[in-house]
């Protein structure tokens, strides 16, 4: 279905349209993991993600009649921008379906890129609902649907990332880490590497909350996720593509699941240490290095940074998720006795090792002997947590750990 020859043709077809993005050696990551880490910077594409490759390649393969009729797609992010860019450059009209919950910033970005060639349609509260509405409209109007991943032209377009890497890198690549959403990038890149760099270990990376490809490969059939954490919105799909699944079965050597909290830590590290702005899906491949630490020592490692469309309004949530995952922020319900100086005693006896109160919610109720307060405490390092609990017990503080109660945590935090 997908051939190396067609990936090479797509590379020539896209020459001068997409950027040959840098393959940059990263000293910080290399030192941390004791290997040679190179970042394939797809966040530097005109639409800040690799999605432009597949979308544009698919659009270039339309017949004149199909182009005249116009196209349809469904996306809440990078694929929509890739289609919009191709439409604006090629003069093709597009109906782009997005969920009603899509942030206005993303909608404006698609409209800005596509200019007068794009009409954004908001439909449904989820991507699946928007996708269904787009398919219905497409069938009724007999237009071409530009699928975000389950399409041979799209996969071959994404595979041109591999052409860039192998044309740029001098030497052998031991490990290639590739983020997986629907599987278009991993299928295209894996196909090319399997032929031209067969010794390279291709490691797919999925977010822990959306393991559609891993579970499908384990069951040897495409499964539909019943529940999904869509925080890593660029790589969270309920079901991977059919073509993609068949290819990934043969080209991937392993799949790593990365907790969303760890992804957030990597986003912050890249920003603070390297001045790189990446989206959650863009940090996936780098976050996976922690889980391959022993195997990659002394090796040449390439991580595909798939995109950099990160909304600055998400940064507080990213920092929160990171601190909780790293064990640096803990929430408690503290039952304070309703007497004078109860809070002062708590501060003096419990928070005496550099801890900081980040959240405090309390309402005094005069008709009760105790009053519960929600307190978020930040600590200096993970190992400080046990001594904090020890002081709570020693001073007979009535407390409940909110982090350990998932339902309570989701409700309160």
> Going by C-beta distance under 8 Å and a sequence separation of 6 or more, which residues neighbour residue 372?
333, 334, 335, 336, 362
Per-residue pLDDT of the chain (413 residues; tens, 9 = 90+): 799 999 999 999 999 999 999 999 999 999 999 999 999 999 999 999 999 999 999 999 999 999 999 999 999 789 999 999 999 999 999 999 998 888 788 899 999 999 999 999 999 888 888 899 999 999 999 999 999 999 999 999 999 999 999 999 999 999 999 999 999 999 999 999 999 999 999 999 999 999 999 999 999 999 999 988 989 988 889 999 999 999 999 999 999 999 999 999 999 999 999 999 999 999 999 999 999 999 999 999 999 999 999 888 889 999 999 999 999 999 999 998 888 888 899 999 999 888 999 999 987 665 566 778 999 999 999 999 999 999 999 999 999 999 988 888 888 87
Domain boundary (150, 172, 187) is at 150
Q: Residue 353's CB: how many other CB atoms inside 10 A? A: 11
d(CA 181, CA 126): 16
Considering the domain architecture, whether residues 226 and 351 belong to the same structural domain is answered as no
Task: Verify that 189 and 301 share a domain, yes or no.
Answer: yes
Structural domain count, the chain: 3
Three-state DSSP string of 162-197:
HHHHHHHCCCCCCEEEEECCCCHHHHHHHHHHHHHC
| Judgement on whether residues 181 and 227 belong to the same structural domain of the protein | yes
Q: Do 265 and 309 lie in a common domain?
A: yes
Tokens of 324: 């909780």
CA distance 400 to 175: 44
Residues 172 and 237 in one domain: yes
Positions annotated as catalytic residues are 51, 306
Q: In what order do the strands lie in the sheet with 356-362?
A: 356-362, 370-378, 329-337, 398-401
Torsion of CA 241, 245, 246, 248, to 10 degrees: 130
Longest Cα–Cα distance in the chain:
80
Query: What pLDDT, on the 0 to 100 scale, is given for residue 367?
Result: 59
Contact between 300 and 171 (Cβ < 8 Å):
yes
pLDDT of residue 402: 94
Neighbours of 382 (CB within 10 A): 10
Q: What is the CATH number of the domain that holds 66?
A: 3.40.50.1100
Tokens matching residue 255:
């799949």
For residue 116, report the phi and psi dihedrals to the nearest 5 degrees: -80, 0
Q: Provide DSSP, 140-157.
A: HHT-EE--SSSSHHHHHH
Q: What is the CATH number of the domain that holds 397?
A: 3.30.70.260
pTM comes to: 0.92
pLDDT, residue 96, reads 96
Domain range for 334: 327-412
Contact indicator for 132, 124 with CB cutoff of 8 Å? yes
Q: Are residues 81 and 136 in the same domain?
A: yes
CA angle 257, 258, 262 (to 5 degrees): 170
- Using DSSP, how many helices (H) and how many strands (E) does the chain show? 19, 14
Under 8 Å CB-to-CB from 333, ≥6 apart: which residues? 372, 373, 374, 375, 399, 400, 402
Residues 300 and 193 in one domain: yes
Q: Name the residue with tokens 């830590």.
A: 265
The torsion angles phi and psi of 210, rounded to 5 degrees, stand at -145, 65
Among 320, 345, 363, residue at a domain's last position: 320
**CB 7, CB 163: distance < 8 Å:** yes
Query: By C-alpha distance, which of 344, 412, 330 is closest to 379?
Result: 330
68 lies in the same domain as 38: no
The DSSP line for 109-146 is HHHHHHGGGEEEEE-SSSHHHHHHHHHHHHHHHT-EE-
Model pLDDT, residue 366: 58
| 268 and 186 share one domain | yes
Give the count of beta carbons closer than 10 Å to the beta carbon of residue 272.
9
Q: Which position has the token pair 């068949």?
A: 246
Which of 135, 150, 165 is the endpoint of a domain? Answer: 150
18 and 81, same domain (yes or no): no
Are residue 61 and residue 180 in the same domain, yes or no? no
Residues 163, 35 within the same domain: yes
**3-state DSSP call for residue 124?**
coil
């Amino acid at each position: 279905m997908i051939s190396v020859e067609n990936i090479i043709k797509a590379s020539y077809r896209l020459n001068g349209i997409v950027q040959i993005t840098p393959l940059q050696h990263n000293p910080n990551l290399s030192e941390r993991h004791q290997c040679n880490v190179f970042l394939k910077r797809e966040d530097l594409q005109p639409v800040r993600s690799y999605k432009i490759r597949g979308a544009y390649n698919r659009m270039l393969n339309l017949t004149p009649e199909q182009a005249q009729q116009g196209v349809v797609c469904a996306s809440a992010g990078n694929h929509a921008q890739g289609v919009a860019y191709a439409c604006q450059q090629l003069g093709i009209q597009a109906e782009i379906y997005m969920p009603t919950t899509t942030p206005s910033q993303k909608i404006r970005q698609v409209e800005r890129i596509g200019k007068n060639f794009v009409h954004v349609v908001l439909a449904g509260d989820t991507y699946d609902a928007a996708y269904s509405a787009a398919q219905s409209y497409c069938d009724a109007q007999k237009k071409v649907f530009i699928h975000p991943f389950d399409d041979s032209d799209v996969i071959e377009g994404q595979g041109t990332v591999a052409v860039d890497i192998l044309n740029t890198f001098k030497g052998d690549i031991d490990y290639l880490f590739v983020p997986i959403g629907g599987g278009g990038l991993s299928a295209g890149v894996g196909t090319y590497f399997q032929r031209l760099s067969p010794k390279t270990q291709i490691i797919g990376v999925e977010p822990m909350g959306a393991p559609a490809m891993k579970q499908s490969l384990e069951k040897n059939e495409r499964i539909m996720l019943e529940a999904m954490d869509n925080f890593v919105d660029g790589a969270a799909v309920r079901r991977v593509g059919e073509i993609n699944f068949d290819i990934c079965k043969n080209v991937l050597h392993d799949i790593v699941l990365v907790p969303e909290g760890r992804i957030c830590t990597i986003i912050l590290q890249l920003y603070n240490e390297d001045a790189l702005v990446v989206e959650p899906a863009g940090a996936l491949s780098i976050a996976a290095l922690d889980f391959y630490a022993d195997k990659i020592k002394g090796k040449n490692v390439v991580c595909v940074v798939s995109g950099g469309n990160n909304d600055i309004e998400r940064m507080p949530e990213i920092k929160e998720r990171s601190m909780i995952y790293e064990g640096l922020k803990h929430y408690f319900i503290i039952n304070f006795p309703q007497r004078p100086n109860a809070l002062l005693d708590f501060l003096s006896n419990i928070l005496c090792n550099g801890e900081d109160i980040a959240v405090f919610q309390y309402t005094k109720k005069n008709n009760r002997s105790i009053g519960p307060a929600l307190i978020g405490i930040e600590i200096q390092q993970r190992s400080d947590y046990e001594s904090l609990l020890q002081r709570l017990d020693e001073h007979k503080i009535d407390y409940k750990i909110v982090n350990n109660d998932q339902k309570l945590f989701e409700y309160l935090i």
